[in-house]
Amino acid sequence: MNENAAPWRATVLTLYPDMFPGPLGQSLSGDALARGAWSLEARQIREHGLGRHRSVDDTPAGGGAGMVLRCDVLGAAIDAAATADDPRPRLLMSPRGRPLTQARVRALAEGPGAVIVCGRFEGVDERVIRARDLEEVSIGDYVLSGGEIAALVLVDACVRLLPGVMGKHASGVEESFEGGLLEYPHYTRPREWEGRTIPDVLMGGNHAAIARWRAEQSRALTRARRPDLVAPEEP
């Protein structure tokens, strides 16, 4: 992202706008938000609800438990939040979406921002997903009460990569998933604690040896904890 470009913009469509900025208003993301390095707008879907009670949902076609967000209500909310020529991708936080990866986060952070729809109830009418070209995104193989917490996760992951948000550029590079591996272990003072010591290699000042140790640790941790990230070895 060009440092002279317009600030990264997140627009969140939700039934619970008071959940934002939440943790995004604290620490690095909060400081960057206050400085105008990025912007956040939480819009109430219910403003486009129907009737006196601003209804946003209805019973599922074909029967079944729960309620479904209406396509006409959500379509109107999306149209009011983003014009047809808005270049930002439109995302729907959904457990059936593609898993969010660091590569996707980096691509989003390098763009103009995102329009993020937070689902509720049993789901969203499929027609609005297709008509408004919503990209379904999942943060894991589990189900939350709604998309708001998932949206907070996605925005936090993106914002921390924006220029000037983190103190050191290296902080965003030498991390889990950036190189396809989990991050190596970290240590700091005191040198000994409860009978456990910092590995000698980290105290020797040999930067090449430290780099090799860290690479070996990353590979070993990844093989043990996330073998799905490791390419199969050649026969």
Would you say residue 178 has pLDDT above 90? no
What confidence score (pLDDT) does residue 140 get?
Answer: 96
17 close to 43: Cβ distance less than 8 angstroms: yes
pLDDT in tens, 83-99: 999 999 999 999 999 99
Would you say residue 47 has pLDDT above 60? yes
How distant is the alpha carbon of residue 140 from its chain centre? Answer: 11
What confidence score (pLDDT) does residue 234 get?
Answer: 44
Average pLDDT, whole number, for the chain?
93
Domains, the chain, in order of start with CATH, read 8-159 (3.40.1280.10), 175-229 (1.10.1270.20)
Instruction: Choose the weakest-confidence range: 57-71, 134-148, 167-181.
Output: 167-181
202 close to 210: Cβ distance less than 8 angstroms: yes
19-41 mean pLDDT: 98
**Pairing label, strands 38-44, 8-14:** parallel
